[in-house]
Amino acid sequence: MSAPAVRIAIAPHCSLTPAGAWTFFLATCGVCFGIAALLTLRGYWPVLAFAGLEMLLLGWALYDSLQRRHRTETIIVTENSVDIEARESGGVSRTVFPRHWAQVRLRGDVSPLAPGRLLIESGGKRREIGSFLTGQERQRLAARLAPLIGGMAESPPLPTVQPRG
Amino acid sequence: MATHAQAASHDAHDHKPHGWRRWVFSTNHKDIGTMYLVFSCVMFFVGGTMALIIRAELFQPGLQFVDPQFFNSMTAMHALVMIFGAIMPGWVGLANWLIPMQIGAPDMALPRLNNLSFWILPFAFVLLLGTLFVPGGAPAGGWTMYPPLALQAGDSFPMMIFAIHLMGISSILGAINVVVTVMNMRAPGMNLLKMPLFVWTWLITAYLLVAVMPVLAGAVTMLLTDHFFGTSFFTASGGGDPVMYQHIFWFFGHPEVYIMILPAFGVVSEIIPTFSRKPLFGYESMVYATAAIGFLSFIVWAHHMFTVGMPLAGQLFFMLATMLISVPTGVKIFNWCATMTRGSLSFEPPMLFALAFLFLFTIGGFSGLMLAIVPADFQYQDSYFVVAHFHYVLVPGSLFAIMGAVYYWLPKWVGHMYDMKLAKLHFWLSAIFVNVLFFPQHFLGLAGMPRRIPDYATQFADWNMVSSIGAFGFGFSQLLLPYIIIKCVKAGAKAADRPWDGAHGLEWELPSPAPFHSWEVPPSAAVIARGAEH
């Protein structure tokens, strides 16, 4: 009997819904532009320019933070393959590696502004996973994947009991 | 956060960068929080030194140490340094340290932006303090930069405006980061009405910052164009309206006061229940009261400028709106008192600072009510009574709350307990000298002593001498604070994960010292429920 596939799904947590973000953003725009409009009507238009810049920044910050919610990565390790499916707002991408020739590589932090990367590599191909995780989370995920996938030219037996995940 | 949740083990996983890169490139909320707090402490001593120069000059009538121009520079620079360099970065530092820990997030939502918002600040203050060395000296027209006086400044003028822009950018970046973090990074189950009051007050503070900072940026930019590009926004000779500058400035300036005090309400709302060993009385009413204060802060600005002349209806509106603020503020004061009633009180340093806040901020609130009354304000305007009022709000108000917060969370930050005796000594010296310093200023103001003067009539000599003695006592006793902190960082009894037995909140579920990343995996619902016992 073959061992069942191990499936690990990772996703960033978001407490804000897009509707909530829009409501918040529009309410803030209403307040900021309302104040700025009153001052502009009296001739003090530079306030409007700064309000616009600030709302652009707030909008970008909310958008950037909300992008997290569209991301999921599912790693399915079977007897023969490592299947990575990444879902983002732009669509779905899928990469399949032969398990026997795949390996997990965790690159350390180059600098705090260029955090480490968790890669699955095989035959010159590589795929990054968990880029939204913290450094420690990436280390934990790497520690969990390494014995499942094994080193290059290695196919360690998969656990017969499905782990949490 | 990752769904491959595993039991968090925080023992030896702090893979943090070392050396100067750790600080310069840091995107970690705790490191950035630490940098903000250190910066705030340094600026507190810079601004404090300026205050001591002012009080040394005022120790007795006549000109003793500095010329009037430099004296006026000191008053303006003291205010700018203390507001934008000490108090606000102090609160942002605490927000950085605490908000992710309290909402169950691993870090701030926008860590690189967080790094940028801190590192703008040192450049802003190099620029601002650099004005002390340019021809014409530092800005001497007050931190409010009223035209036409501000427009007559020397080379310091554009430097000050650029410095204020940088401080504003830093504040906006910090505020947006707080807003996005609180909105989007809360742990599952941490709904808005389970958030600790410190997070709530910061969320409202950040909203105020986002709302008013464009107004400040616009106002100072218009000053700049009036000075250099021939516009006449505020230049009367060109058809501009200098009084309108005051309206615009205080439309920013009054919410700014609440920006400095609302997080203090949050801190006191954390400390008092802990040392009363009771849940906070009226949590939801505290949240709504904070929101009400935030809203009212937008419609009271003209109480700073009753004497410029405005219609009677305007005077009445701003007077009544200002007095209305005492209602939600009273709700808070009574709720804190109700929290302590029949509590099992103990008086560790954080509680002492919180209690001093309660008593002394209330004095500042009452004198604020006096200033809200238009006919009375005509007498008090620009007198030392106003100086006493806002210093009671900002020093035993904001500053004591920051110090209380540092003493409250320091064991969590560094993993050691601090020297309780020294901390209590620091408190008592501060509490006594702050009153010796500022209480006599009420008498001076009521007797008619104007603010921002280096020399004064001999009738004001006695209380000025007392006030200056208080200033030096207060100033030198603050040296204890960094000493206690450094001593605590280096050594001390190991702090328990929950060093205060009455403490609730997610941050106390983390080990002491808190790990490099706060919540590697989200806290469980049970942990959140335990932490949310307000």
Query: pLDDT band for position B14 (50/70/90)?
Result: very low
Residue A23 sits in the same domain as residue A55: yes
Q: Under DSSP, is residue B494 helix (H, G, I), strand (E, B) or coil? A: strand
What CA–CA distance (Å, rounded) separates A116 from A110?
7
Is A157 part of a structural domain of the chain?
no
B339-353: pLDDT as tens digits: 999 999 999 999 999
B67 is catalytic: no
Query: pLDDT band for position B6 (50/70/90)?
Result: very low
Q: Under DSSP, is residue B506 helix (H, G, I), strand (E, B) or coil? A: helix
Residue A125 sits in the same domain as residue A94: yes
- The answer to whether the CB of B36 falls within 8 A of the CB of B67 is no
Is A154 part of a structural domain of the chain?
no
Is A145 part of a structural domain of the chain?
yes
- The answer to whether the CB of B242 falls within 8 A of the CB of B235 is yes
B387-404: pLDDT as tens digits: 999 999 999 999 999 999
Query: pLDDT band for position B433 (50/70/90)?
Result: very high
Is A158 part of a structural domain of the chain?
no
Is A110 part of a structural domain of the chain?
yes
Average pLDDT value for residue range B39-62: 97
Q: DSSP letter string over A44-97?
A: -THHHHHHHHHHHHHHHHHHHHHGGGG-EEEEEE-SSEEEEEEEETTEEEEEEE
With the C-alpha atoms ordered B254, B255, B256, B261, is the resulting torsion angle positive or negative?
positive
- What pLDDT does residue A87 have? 85
What CA–CA distance (Å, rounded) separates B409 from A74?
39
With the C-alpha atoms ordered B107, B108, B109, B114, is the resulting torsion angle positive or negative?
negative
- What pLDDT does residue B10 have? 35
Angle, nearest 10°, between helix axes B400-414 and B88-103? 40
Whether pLDDT at B458 is above 80: yes
- The answer to whether the CB of B1 falls within 8 A of the CB of A12 is yes
Residue A88 sits in the same domain as residue A59: no
Strands A103-107 and A117-122, by their bridges, are: antiparallel
**Burial bucket for residue A9 (CB in 10 Å: 0-12, 13-18, 19+):** middle
Least confident of A27-41, A112-126, B303-317: A112-126
Average pLDDT over chain B, rounded to whole? Answer: 92
CA torsion A111-A115-A118-A121 (nearest 10°) is: -50
- Entry pTM: 0.87
Q: Looking at the partner chain, which of B217, B233, B520 has a beta carbon nearest the beta carbon of A50?
A: B217
Whether pLDDT at A154 is above 80: no
Least confident of A20-29, A107-116, B38-47: A107-116
A44·B248 Cβ contact <8 A: yes
Query: pLDDT band for position B506 (50/70/90)?
Result: confident
With the C-alpha atoms ordered A99, A100, A101, A105, is the resulting torsion angle positive or negative?
positive
Average pLDDT value for residue range B139-155: 91
What CA–CA distance (Å, rounded) separates A140 from B367?
57
Is A87 part of a structural domain of the chain?
yes
What CA–CA distance (Å, rounded) separates A103 from A100?
8
- The answer to whether the CB of B388 falls within 8 A of the CB of B439 is yes
What CA–CA distance (Å, rounded) separates B189 from B532?
10
Among B226, B112, B119, which residue's Cα sits nearest to residue B169? B119
**Burial bucket for residue B116 (CB in 10 Å: 0-12, 13-18, 19+):** middle
A61·B109 Cβ contact <8 A: yes
Average pLDDT value for residue range B348-371: 96
- What pLDDT does residue B3 have? 37
Least confident of A51-55, A148-152, B127-131, B453-457: A148-152
Whether pLDDT at B523 is above 80: no
Strands A103-107 and A81-88, by their bridges, are: unpaired
B107 is catalytic: yes
B207-253: pLDDT as tens digits: 999 999 999 999 999 999 999 999 999 999 999 999 999 999 999 99
B10 is catalytic: no
Q: DSSP letter string over B101-121?
A: HHHT-SS-S-HHHHHHHHHHH
- What pLDDT does residue B211 have? 93
What CA–CA distance (Å, rounded) separates A164 from B3?
9
Residue A128 sits in the same domain as residue A85: yes
Query: pLDDT band for position B524 (50/70/90)?
Result: low
Report the domain count for chain A.
2
Mutating which of A10, A17, A32, A54 best tests the B interface, going by the most B Cβ atoms within 10 A? A54
Of the two residues A82 and B529, the one the predictor is more confident about is: A82
Q: Under DSSP, is residue B492 helix (H, G, I), strand (E, B) or coil? A: coil
Residue A62 sits in the same domain as residue A79: no
- What pLDDT does residue A12 have? 79
For chain A, give the percent of residues with pLDDT over 70: 88
Q: Mind telling me how many Å the CA of B528 is from chain A's nearest CA?
A: 14
- What pLDDT does residue A162 have? 52
Is A58 part of a structural domain of the chain?
yes
Residue A60 sits in the same domain as residue A109: no
Residue A76 sits in the same domain as residue A61: no
Q: Compute φ and ψ for B49, nearest 5 degrees.
A: -60, -40
Does the beta carbon of B464 lie under 8 angstroms from any beta carbon of chain A?
Answer: no
Residue A84 sits in the same domain as residue A56: no
Query: pLDDT band for position A90 (50/70/90)?
Result: confident
Whether pLDDT at A119 is above 80: yes
What CA–CA distance (Å, rounded) separates B220 from B411?
41
Residue A63 sits in the same domain as residue A106: no
- Displacement of CA B305 from its chain's centroid (Å): 23
B297 is catalytic: no
* Three-point CA angle B487, B481, B362, nearest 5°: 145
Residue A47 sits in the same domain as residue A93: no
ipTM above 0.85, yes or no: yes
Residue A63 sits in the same domain as residue A94: no
Residue A141 sits in the same domain as residue A104: yes
Question: What range does the domain containing A78 cover?
Answer: 6-12+72-149
- What pLDDT does residue A161 have? 57
Does the beta carbon of A38 lie under 8 angstroms from any beta carbon of chain B?
Answer: no
Is A155 part of a structural domain of the chain?
no
